[in-house]
């Protein structure tokens, strides 16, 4: 049998308060909290207290609220749309509640539910959009937690989008009822107008909405090149999370953990495109073509890349293909692996007096006779973060030592940075070649070289050179993008 849904004892409504007075009796913290809450509306605040705390006084001065500096009497409530009894004194709060009721004004008494006609919600404010969370006073902490969660889900520009939507309501009414109108609004809130508002381009958003209104063409697609971060789910940005929840299709690399891909909309199509050494994967050209095709089909696509999409992510080629095809795209940055590895090691990437520059490299450009620029920077003191550096560890160490960097220069290596499975190793440049032969490292590996590495915390790391394998390790998990 289906479970009966419990009945609400407090029914949520949105009350019109523009220009209306809201009376708050009290001068302490509780009164201030209510003043701040109601202050998010356009009601006129009337605060009745002879003993306002400094913060409440500052609030009154800053907001232009009316301050009645007199001993409370019922007449102070007259004409108010709502009353808050927030004096903290039981006798006074009870009197205020009784007066309000006699005057026919709904009243809320702080921490005295038995005296309340209404409860105040935890509020997510994206005016004109509001989300009010109520627990009938059962769980203010729960309400605040839910508030935080919902707040993170919603774009800060939602209010501006809703305001723009309101200005198009009349025009949209002239569209044929049903599918046409629904499609307009769907494309408005999920398509080009919404994206332009998000980017702070209000006039562009307006033009995009007009375009939607006049053209009957299906909306064009959009590709977001999104940084998924180094692996830990909670290192994803809020924007990445939001886009994942709105995506029709998620195209992801092998290095992006399943837990992150699973954060996408449940019915989103998921397309793994590989990019892992030794595994079957699509070529870069095939990926470019796939993104263009999805864009042409009008899909909202999240192209998830590990770390930051613009660091060794071949985003340049994907953006060029999208530009050539005239498909809209945007880039959402992510936490790059070097930053996660540094955090795991408490390693200052720049260190006052020791290192003031930072190099991101792969070491795959060491083959030629001339020394690449980054190697020169390393010798002059830069901290060097080597991506995909495992299979070239010996070459990197050899060339740097040959060029004059001390074999004693500190080196830190992190496998699976940011993840629970991470392993940390430390040693010197002379130990670095041993990395190539380690069969026990199957995850992605980040190597950081330089004097600043000496400032890291080696408490939870293993010595790099302790473990020597004769066989050449497979480099299964090493990304092959460059
Ligand atoms: N765009 C990514 C880099 C892709 S190249 C970024 O900004 O991080 C792939 C390389 O990144 C791997 O070979 C490895 O060197 C590094 N990498 C990615 N995730 C990592 C992790 N969790 N721990 C250590 N290194 C990582």
Q: Is the CB of 344 under 6 A from ligand 1?
A: no
Q: Is there a single domain that holds both residue 331 and residue 381?
A: no
Average pLDDT of the chain?
91
**Which residue among 275, 344, 431, 451 is the active-site one?**
275
- Measured between alpha carbons, how far is residue 137 from residues 98, 112, 202 in Å? 20, 10, 40
Fill in the DSSP letter of residue 146.
Answer: H
- Measured between alpha carbons, how far is residue 323 from residues 147, 316, 317 in Å? 39, 10, 10
Domain count, the chain: 4
Collapse the DSSP code of 155 into the 3-class scheme (helix H, G, I; strand E, B; otherwise coil) and give the result.
coil
pLDDT at 469: 44
Of 232, 236, 253, 255, the one to substitute when testing ligand 1's pocket (max ligand atoms within 8 A of C-beta) is 255
Q: Of 199, 216, 233, which marks where a domain is finished?
A: 216
Give the pLDDT means over successive 10-residue stretches in the chain (482 positions).
79 95 97 97 97 97 97 97 97 97 97 93 95 89 93 93 95 82 87 92 95 76 96 94 92 93 91 71 93 93 97 96 95 98 97 93 77 85 94 92 93 97 96 92 95 93 70 44 41
- How many angstroms separate the CA atoms of 334 and 362, rounded? 19
- Label the pairing between strands 44-48 and 462-463: unpaired
Of 229, 240, 274, 306, the one to substitute when testing ligand 1's pocket (max ligand atoms within 8 A of C-beta) is 306
Q: Is the CB of 347 under 6 A from ligand 1?
A: no
Burial of 32 (0-12, 13-18, 19+ CB in 10 A): buried
Q: Is the CB of 28 under 6 A from ligand 1?
A: no
- How many angstroms separate the CA atoms of 399 and 397, rounded? 6
Q: Is there a single domain that holds both residue 345 and residue 469?
A: yes
**Is there a domain that residue 1 lies in?**
no
Q: Is there a single domain that holds both residue 404 and residue 471?
A: yes
pLDDT at 274: 80
**Which residue among 93, 99, 187, 253 is the active-site one?**
253
Where in the sequence is the domain holding 327, given as residue range(s)? 220-335
- Label the pairing between strands 445-449 and 383-386: antiparallel
Active site residue 275: yes
Active site residue 234: no
pTM, two decimals, is 0.76
pLDDT at 471: 42
Kindly give the distance from the C-alpha atom of residue 36 to the centroid of ligand 1, in angstroms, as a whole number: 45
- Label the pairing between strands 44-48 and 21-25: parallel
Q: Of 306, 335, 364, which marks where a domain is finished?
A: 335
Expressed in angstroms, the distance from the first to the final Cα of the chain is: 58
pLDDT in tens, 283-342: 999 999 999 999 999 899 999 999 999 999 999 999 999 999 999 999 999 999 999 999
Q: Is the CB of 96 under 6 A from ligand 1?
A: no
**CATH number of the domain where residue 266 is located:** 3.40.1010.10
pLDDT at 161: 97
Kindly give the distance from the C-alpha atom of residue 478 to the centroid of ligand 1, in angstroms, as a whole number: 8
Q: Is there a single domain that holds both residue 184 and residue 92?
A: no
Q: Of 284, 308, 335, which marks where a domain is finished?
A: 335
Q: Is the CB of 257 under 6 A from ligand 1?
A: no
In this structure, what is the dihedral angle of CA atoms 162, 167, 170, 176, given to the nearest 10 degrees? -60
- Buried b / exposed e across 218-252, counting CB within 10 Å, b at 16+? ebbbbbbbbbbbbbbeebbbebbbbbbebbbbbbb
pLDDT at 86: 98
pLDDT at 176: 79
Of 387, 388, 392, 393, the one to substitute when testing ligand 1's pocket (max ligand atoms within 8 A of C-beta) is 387
Q: Is there a single domain that holds both residue 424 and residue 460?
A: yes
Q: Within 10 A of 426 (CB to CB), how many other CB atoms are there? A: 23
pLDDT in tens, 451-481: 999 999 999 999 998 654 444 444 444 444 4
* CA nearest to 482, candidates 312, 304, 291, 244: 312
pLDDT at 473: 42
Q: Is the CB of 255 under 6 A from ligand 1?
A: yes
Q: Is there a single domain that holds both residue 364 and residue 297?
A: no
* CA nearest to 193, candidates 331, 328, 333, 332: 328
**CATH number of the domain where residue 51 is located:** 3.40.50.720
**Is there a domain that residue 5 lies in?**
no
pLDDT at 448: 97
């Amino acid at each position: 049998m289906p479970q009966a849904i419990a009945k609400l004892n407090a029914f949520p409504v949105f009350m019109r308060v523009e220009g209306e007075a809201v009376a708050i009796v009290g001068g302490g913290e509780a009164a201030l909290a209510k003043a701040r809450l109601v202050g998010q509306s356009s009601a006129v605040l009337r605060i009745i207290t002879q003993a306002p705390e400094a913060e409440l006084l500052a609030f009154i001065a800053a907001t232009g609220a009316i301050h009645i500096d007199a001993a409370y009497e019922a007449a102070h409530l007259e004409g108010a749309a709502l009353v808050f009894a927030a004096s903290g004194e039981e006798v006074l709060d009870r009197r205020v509640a009784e007066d309000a009721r006699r005057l026919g004004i709904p009243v809320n008494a702080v921490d005295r539910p038995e005296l309340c006609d209404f409860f105040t919600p935890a509020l997510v404010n994206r005016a004109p959009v509001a989300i009010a969370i109520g627990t009938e006073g059962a769980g203010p902490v729960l309400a605040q937690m839910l508030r935080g969660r919902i707040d993170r889900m919603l774009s800060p520009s939602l209010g501006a989008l809703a305001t723009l939507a309101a200005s198009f309501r009349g025009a949209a009414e002239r569209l044929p009822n049903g599918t046409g109108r629904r499609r307009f609004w769907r494309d408005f809130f999920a398509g080009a107008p919404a994206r332009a508002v998000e980017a702070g381009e209000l006039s562009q958003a307006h033009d995009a909405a007009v375009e939607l209104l006049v053209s009957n063409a299906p909306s064009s697609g959009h590709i977001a090149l999104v940084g998924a971060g180094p692996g830990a789910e909670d290192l994803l940005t809020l924007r990445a999370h939001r886009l994942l929840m709105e995506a029709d299709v998620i195209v992801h690399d092998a290095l992006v953990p399943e837990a992150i891909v699973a954060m996408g909309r449940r019915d989103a199509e998921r397309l793994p495109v590989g990019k892992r050494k030794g595994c079957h994967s699509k070529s870069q050209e095939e990926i470019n073509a796939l993104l263009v095709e999805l864009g042409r089909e009008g899909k909202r696509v999240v192209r998830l890349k590990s770390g930051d999409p613009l660091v060794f992510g071949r985003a340049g080629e994907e953006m060029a293909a999208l530009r050539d095809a005239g498909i809209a795209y945007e880039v959402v940055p992510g936490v790059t692996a070097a930053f996660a590895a540094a955090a795991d090691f408490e390693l200052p990437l720049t260190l006052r007096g020791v290192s003031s520059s930072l190099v991101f490299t792969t070491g795959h450009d060491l083959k030629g006779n001339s020394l690449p620029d980054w190697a020169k920077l390393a010798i002059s003191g830069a901290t060097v973060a080597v991506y995909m550096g495992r299979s070239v560890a010996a070459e990197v160490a050899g060339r740097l030592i040959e060029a004059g960097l001390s074999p004693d220069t500190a080196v830190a290596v992190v496998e699976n940075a940011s993840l629970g499975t991470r392993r940390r190793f430390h040693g010197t440049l002379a130990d670095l070649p041993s990395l190539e032969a380690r069969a026990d490292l199957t995850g992605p590996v980040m190597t950081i070289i330089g004097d600043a590495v000496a400032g890291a915390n080696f408490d939870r790391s293993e010595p790099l050179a302790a473990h020597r394998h004769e066989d050449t390790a497979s480099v299964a998990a090493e990304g092959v993008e460059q």
